[in-house]
Amino acid sequence: MTELASLDEQELVVRLRRGDQRACARLMTWAERNDPRFAVQHRAFCDELGVAQRIGITGPPGAGKSTLVEGLASHWRESDDRKIGVVAVDPTSPFTGGALLGDRVRMSRLVLDPGVFIRSMATRGVFGGLARATDDLADVLDLFGCHSIMVETVGVGQSEVDIARSCDLTLVVLHPGGGDTIQAMKAGLMEVADIYVVNKADMPGVDRLVQELFDVLELREIPEDQQPPILTAVASTGQGVPELAEAIDGMVRDRRDSGRQAERRQDNLERRIRRLVDGRLRHEVWQARGLSDLLHQRLAEGGKLSAYELADEVLDQYQQAAGHPANLLGNISQTDPEDSP
């Protein structure tokens, strides 16, 4: 086989379509690296996307997310030979920039199955449980012909939860002994679930956790037919996995038919575009215009400085360099909390 580096981008996509895993993996790398070649290709293939169902899987660390992904993937492989894609996100260390991506250890049964493509991903400085290019990687798997794509978030703690804005359907995985439901409520997990999975259901405390979930959900005054179902499972043995798979497929079908899926995808798309614009503006201000250097320089001069004063100074400089109208800068400095990533 020829080395990938010598291929141009069109050839890479041609090979991906033929089922070449290495080409698929390289396109993902381009997306992760923010390589402009990815954006060019994305424009070309974007109208082919949206075929796969995208399932987000989130929950606290140790809830059994990876094991559940393995269970669901195995189930779908056996039941209808479905092609599966997995994106597993783990955190980047804010101190060293390094990351230990360990989700594969729990998915070793899937490794040699040519119908399963797994990619581990580090957050690279993004909070909310996903990385910047997670949607891009899911797109590549969609193009690669995967029917079901599972996106596993980092073990979320008390941070916002982006996964619900990125997938068709979100599973929240909890386990007895993982703290009470107040913990899950604090983490924002009680608002994002389309399906709850109480995993490790062979451990004591399952009934109580399920009851607590019911109680919390009742408080939210959602119409009965839209209450997220609560399922139990033992991912390590496969118990409850077929029922969960069926619940997912059923919900995906219903939403596709009712138009809710299209609505949600539209919302997700808007969020994603806003994130891209935010990211580019940030890059434009700090890197492309060299304003990081300006800021460091001003800070190094010492003395008591008002944060607001310096922020204005940075934006003034940006305005002069870019020749943008002042009202645009006004919008940048007043970040709408709704829109921040």
Binding site for other proteins (CB under 8 A): 1-6, 21-22, 24-26, 28-29, 33, 92-93, 96-102, 104-105, 108, 111-112, 117-120, 122, 124
Shortest gap between Cβ of 51 and other proteins (angstroms)?
20
- According to DSSP, the residues that pair with 13 across neighbouring strands are none
In the complex with other proteins, the residue whose CB is nearer, 92 or 181, is: 92
Shortest gap between Cβ of 174 and other proteins (angstroms)?
25
Shortest gap between Cβ of 56 and other proteins (angstroms)?
20
In the complex with other proteins, the residue whose CB is nearer, 118 or 235, is: 118
Shortest gap between Cβ of 178 and other proteins (angstroms)?
23
Under 8 Å between Cβ of 240 and 234: yes
C-alpha distances in angstroms, 5 versus 12, 35, 65, 199? 10, 13, 35, 43
In the complex with other proteins, the residue whose CB is nearer, 87 or 244, is: 87
C-alpha distances in angstroms, 315 versus 132, 289, 298, 320, 336? 25, 11, 14, 9, 17
Helices (H), 225-259: 241-258
Under 8 Å between Cβ of 213 and 180: no
Torsion of CA 329, 330, 336, 337, to 10 degrees: 80
Tokens of 216: 């919390």
Q: Nearest CA to 63 among 171, 138, 169, 137?
A: 171
Shortest gap between Cβ of 171 and other proteins (angstroms)?
23
SS3 for 27-59, per residue? HHHHHHCCCHHHHHHHHHHHHHCCCCEEEEEEC
In the complex with other proteins, the residue whose CB is nearer, 115 or 179, is: 115
Shortest gap between Cβ of 305 and other proteins (angstroms)?
28
In the complex with other proteins, the residue whose CB is nearer, 122 or 126, is: 122
Shortest gap between Cβ of 317 and other proteins (angstroms)?
22
Tokens of 292: 């990081």
In the complex with other proteins, the residue whose CB is nearer, 121 or 171, is: 121
Q: Which H or E run contains 282?
A: helix 260-283
In the complex with other proteins, the residue whose CB is nearer, 253 or 283, is: 283
The C-alpha atoms of residue 243 and residue 248 are separated, in whole angstroms, by 9
